Amino acid sequence: MTEARLRSAEDRRAEIQATAAALGIDEAYISLLVETFYRRIRAHELIGPIFESAIGLDWAPHLETMKAFWASVALNAGRYSGKPVPAHKKHASIQPWHFKIWLALFEQTLKDTSPTPGAVTYFMERAEHIAQSLQLAMFGLPGLGQPRDRA
């Protein structure tokens, strides 16, 4: 990477982190968000069992992965290096309508825990994009059929 590109990436990271900080978003809030959200996921009658079958009884590694994921998304922390599409594609029980439940639970968790109203918008914009990307990768566009490796 050239020096100019590296400086640009560092400037972009600093800008993202400053925006997040102004909204009250930091590592401590991300931890609270993830812990609260997944406690609600586990208790949900429809999607809780899907997560339980995928994760099993030891949730600690998944929660740490999700904290790294959201820190990377919200703070540009660069700690997440997983591959969410293959991780979700391997679970055939996931259906498109599950994403609406996931987003609703996520939004309610944000509203209940968020340090500022702007943080709700900040996270929801990202969550909606992530959900849409996963749905497209897993199920394709409506009317065009499913991606080949899921059909």
**Concatenated DSSP letters for 16-83?**
HHHHHHHTT--HHHHHHHHHHHHHHHHH-TTTHHHHHHHH-S--HHHHHHHHHHHHHHHH--------
**Concatenated DSSP letters for 66-106?**
HHHHHHHHHH--------HHHHHHT-TT--HHHHHHHHHHH
Q: Considering only CA atoms, which of 149, 126, 148, 12 is closest in space to residue 71?
A: 126
DSSP state, residue 116: S
pLDDT of res. 85:
84
Q: Which domains does the chain have, with CATH numbers?
A: 3-139 (1.10.490.10)
DSSP state, residue 141: S
Tell me the pTM. 0.85
The residue assigned the tokens 């009884």 is 57
pLDDT of res. 148:
54
Tell me the residue type at 10: E
| pLDDT by position in tens, the chain (length 151) | 577 666 788 888 899 999 999 999 999 999 999 999 999 999 999 999 999 999 998 999 999 999 999 999 999 998 888 888 888 888 888 999 999 999 999 999 999 999 999 999 999 999 999 999 999 998 887 665 555 554 4
pLDDT of res. 81:
85
63 vs 39: CA distance, rounded Å? 10
pLDDT of res. 23:
97
pLDDT of res. 151:
47
